[in-house]
């Protein structure tokens, strides 16, 4: 395959969870801009449908599936509905939906612990398990891109559930890659650094400035900064990459 074609993903069928906003939307947009048909999944019905309408007005193939990724029964429906839209073919899965809750560990409500783990970890594995049962039957295999975090490498203050879930996603990615690399499935993780999204909207400006000082790139990331890495991992350019945990952090971890 010519080098100028190895990043071509046109015509691929994809699912991106959490696609109504933030990094998930940025990653879905990368796939859409490069000719993929993408099912965007989110619990926010109005926001999701508006996003898909905007993309389709540009000539993209964006389809909305509304559902609650914290509910295992609903995940079954979400996946089945998505596969019906995609005609039974799935090339790329990005189970990117995630939430964060902040409390001191001694005060962390257990119901919120369960919610964070259900969305950030359990939905990821369930969607991957279902995707594997499709991809392993396809001669073309598939690409699965999980979303970790910088807290894969260090602890985060007042976010024990988030840290536990994202660390687990990175380890899960490695384990799944061992089982799937020889069967035509590439599974890798992207670990975003400090990103200017809704998840960080409640941070004080002082804290944002403090974080910015450590970023060699000199700025926070944006959803657009996830597009290149996603294009790489969704394409044939990454066919020999398995179980990689890739920071997308402007150099934060190396300073």
Tokens 């389809």 -> residue: 63
**CA 147 – CA 168 distance, rounded (Å):** 11
Task: Clarify whether 252 is annotated catalytic.
Answer: no
Residue tagged active-site, from 162, 194, 240, 252: 162
**CA 104 – CA 47 distance, rounded (Å):** 31
The H helix count followed by the E strand count for the chain is: 8, 7
Q: Residue 217, SS3?
A: coil
Pairing outcome for strands 185-192 and 245-248: parallel
In terms of phi and psi (left: phi > 0; alpha: psi -120 to 50; beta: otherwise), the region of 108 is: beta
| Half-sphere CA count of 255, side-chain side, radius 13 A | 13
∠ CA 250-191-56, rounded to 5° = 95
Residues with catalytic annotation? 162
């Amino acid at each position: 395959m010519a080098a100028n074609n190895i990043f071509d993903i046109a015509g691929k069928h994809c699912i991106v969870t959490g696609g109504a906003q933030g990094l998930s939307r940025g990653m879905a947009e990368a796939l859409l801009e490069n000719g993929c048909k993408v099912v965007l999944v989110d619990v926010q019905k109005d926001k999701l449908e508006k996003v898909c309408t905007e993309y389709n007005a540009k000539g993209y193939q964006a389809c909305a599936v509304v559902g609650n990724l914290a509910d295992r029964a609903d995940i079954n429906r979400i996946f089945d509905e998505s596969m019906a839209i995609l005609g039974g073919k799935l090339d790329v899965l990005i189970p990117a939906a995630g939430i964060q809750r902040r409390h001191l560990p001694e005060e962390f409500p257990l119901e919120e612990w369960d919610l964070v783990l259900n969305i950030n970890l359990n939905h990821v594995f369930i969607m991957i398990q279902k995707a594997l049962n499709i991809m392993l039957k396809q001669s073309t295999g598939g690409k699965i891109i999980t979303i970790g975090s910088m807290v894969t490498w260090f602890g985060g203050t007042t976010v024990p559930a988030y840290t536990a879930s994202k660390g687990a996603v990175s380890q899960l990615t490695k384990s799944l890659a061992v089982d799937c690399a020889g069967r035509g499935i590439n599974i890798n993780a992207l670990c975003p650094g400090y990103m200017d999204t809704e998840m960080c909207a409640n941070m004080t400006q002082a804290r944002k400035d403090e974080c910015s000082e450590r970023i060699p790139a000199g700025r926070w990331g944006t959803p657009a900064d996830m597009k290149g890495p996603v294009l790489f991992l969704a394409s044939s350019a990454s066919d020999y990459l398995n179980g990689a945990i890739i920071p997308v952090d402007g150099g934060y971890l190396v300073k």
